[in-house]
Structure 1
Amino acid sequence: MIVFFFYKPVFFKSYYFFIFKSFLNTSYLSFFYSLIRKDENVSFFQNANIFPEKSIFSFNVTREVIQNMDYSKIQSFFSYLPYETIIKFIEHCSGKKVAFKIDPFVMKSILPEDNSRCFMWSHRIKVFRKNLGPRLFLVESLQILTLCFRLKDPYVLSNWMLSMFYKISFWKYKMFFRYIQYILRNFFWPYFSEYGIKGVRFQLKGKVSVAGNARTRTIFAKIGSLSHSTYKYKILTHLNLLRTFTGVIGFRTWLIF
């Protein structure tokens, strides 16, 4: 509740503005409860259900607020400020990790023609759905690859592939690499010039066998122009660690443009 007082010669008049009352109350109480130690008695509060179980300064946006929001105004506002700056400012003021982020740039990166391409391509790769299992979403995987190429972000690409290794079982890594190579070579390669991409490279290195004396193996895959004899190319890379019961396996992604 925000209160403004305006002075007049005859009387005082107060204006009460209940702007996002539930949002302000929930955010304030969650932050206040995070400052209280767990061993103290908080039974004097009338409603104990309003406090979260974890002491995280989070934003709870209700469905009514989301429906009444004008996305065009929010998108125009956040276009002037990087979302990393806004999140870091809120974390600095609150001292807690923010659990709510707004990424309006994603809506700008996925174009309508990209969605139509992904939908048409998904009908031609249904055979991989049978081999890799129902946890592989064909249309979503094509959209994520399109987003990574348009933003030139190997970090998102590497994290998505790492999460897919955990979802579809690591022992299907060969089939998963075949799936990535197939869609990149047959679908995305003709559009590399449109995305401004020269090539993509993946490397999986580590102990992938359960045998006691298994040696370290390296699985390498590349698509596109990957010449190392020129200095004209720009290279972005990201390294992830895949943890299995056989050990830690390194997974590196290169994006050349």
Structure 2
Amino acid sequence: MNDFQIHMPQDVDDDMPSTAFFVESHLADAMPLPHWHDHVEVNLLPEGRMDYLIGGRRVELRAGRLAVFWAAIHHQVVTVEPSQRLFCAYVPVNLFLSLPLAPGFRSAVLRGELLQAEAADPSDEARMAEMVSDWTKVPAAMHLIWRDEILLRLRRMSFQTVTAPASPTGARGAGPRSVWHVERMTAFVNDNLGRAITVGEVAAASGLHPTTARAAFRKVLGFGIAEYIRRQRLGLAMRLLAETDLGPAEVAHMAGYGSMTRLYDAFRELTGKTPRTFRAELRGGRLA
């Protein structure tokens, strides 16, 4: 578990390597646009109230309760009470995929749920505050210990979560070889979202037999290759609508939908809105 970087950037929105583990805190503020980064993000809001928009859905971050979500799904702070400090730990996805977790927890996070601890635990704030305060004062070995503390806290939280995932998939941690093969497949998908992709192509990118590749993918992520392609394609379309002035036809083309109809169908299924309405309400601050 040592093949990653530990890094504490000055601005967590810039130069955020997906292999980095780090912890930071800041005064939470509403974001003008969504952003994303390929980590599992662990949040703690000690007090007050904050609302996220995650994958087009508005969710409340409850004060004092540790929360976790997959930050590769575009997310945006839309409302927050003034002067509220937010603690954030950024966990590389490969470490999260390898954890032995309670049934359904992993797949719920990866399908875009914000999962929150059953109850507030005062020790969460104390530990994260210490990590932030002492990050630059301690040797790298302590960063490793803090990383492992966060991973163990996620394991414990997986048995004490507010959201009760329906799916029993992903109960056991996947082996490092399986995770490595799945990372090759997810990288292939993300590198080729702008064109039509087949499940067979993705499986071939793993270097495994197609049946073995599909089974490994489902074991690690808790859902199939086709579903992953659908989610990532929709996430790309949402980011293009949020961050550019491209028209829906151009967004459909760049996100690999092949037609406006497929783009509109995907948006209606997830958000109940058209892409134009989604963009207008997002930029007008009315999306809920």
Normalised by the length of structure 1, the TM-score is: 0.29
- Of the two structures, which has the highest relative contact order with CA contacts closer than 8 Å and spacing of 6 or more? 2
Query: Which structure has the bigger radius of gyration?
Result: 1
